[in-house]
Amino acid sequence: MEAIEGSWFQRSSENSHIERVGDVAHVSTPEGTYSIIYGIHGVGGNRAARPIAPQLLPESTSLVFLEEVSPWSENPLGYFTSRRLSIYERDIFSVAERKRIRLAYSDVSYRDSNFSLALDGGALTAALEAAAGIGLAAKVATTAMSRREFIGKAGYGAAAWLLTPATSYIGRLLSGITGFGQEESAGYRRFSRKIHPEERLTGSVRDTVMAYKSQQLMEKEDPGRRHFTHILGYQHEVMEEALLASPAERLEFLERTKAVWRPAVVPETFYTSAILAFNGEFWQTQEIVEHQELKRLLQS
If asked whether residues 228 and 142 sit together in one domain, one would say no
Better pLDDT: 94 or 38: 94
- Indicate whether 103 and 135 sit together in one domain: no
Q: Cα separation of 35 and 60, whole Å?
A: 10
C-beta of residue 111 within 8 angstroms of C-beta of residue 262: no
Global pTM value: 0.72
Assess whether 64 and 137 both reside in one domain.
no
270-280 core/surface letters (b: 16 or more CB in 10 A; e: else)? bbbbbbbebee
- What digits encode the pLDDT tens for the residues 89-102? 788 889 999 999 99
> Which of 199, 216, 250 marks a domain boundary?
199
3-state secondary structure of 142: helix
Tally of structural domains, the chain: 2
Dihedral pair phi/psi, residue 140, rounded to 5°: -65, -40
Q: Verify that 178 and 245 share a domain, yes or no.
A: no
Choosing from 199, 214, 243, the residue where a domain stops is 199
User: 108 phi and psi, to 5 degrees?
Assistant: -100, 130
Q: What share of the chain is helix, strand, coil (3-state, %, to 5)?
A: 55, 20, 30
Are residue 219 and residue 82 in the same domain, yes or no?
Answer: yes
Same domain? For 193 and 209 the reply is: no
- Spell out a b/e string for 153-169, using b for 16 or more CB atoms within 10 Å of the CB, else e: eeeeeeeebeebbbbbb
Give the residue from 145, 178, 199 where a domain finishes: 199
Contact 234, 176 (CB under 8 A): yes
Domain identity same for 103 and 136 = no
| 244-257 pLDDT per residue, tens | 999 999 999 999 98
On whether both 194 and 236 belong to a single domain, the answer is no
Q: Is residue 99 domain-shared with residue 248, that is, in the same domain?
A: yes
Q: Are residues 250 and 181 both part of a single domain?
A: no
Residues 79 and 159 in one domain: no
Q: Are residues 173 and 208 in the same domain?
A: no
Residue span of the structural domain in which 181 resides: 123-199
Q: What is the pLDDT of residue 1?
A: 44
User: What values do phi and psi take at 7, rounded to 5?
Assistant: -125, 160
* Cα Rg of the chain (Å, integer): 20
The pLDDT-based confidence of 59 (bands split at 50, 70, 90) is confident
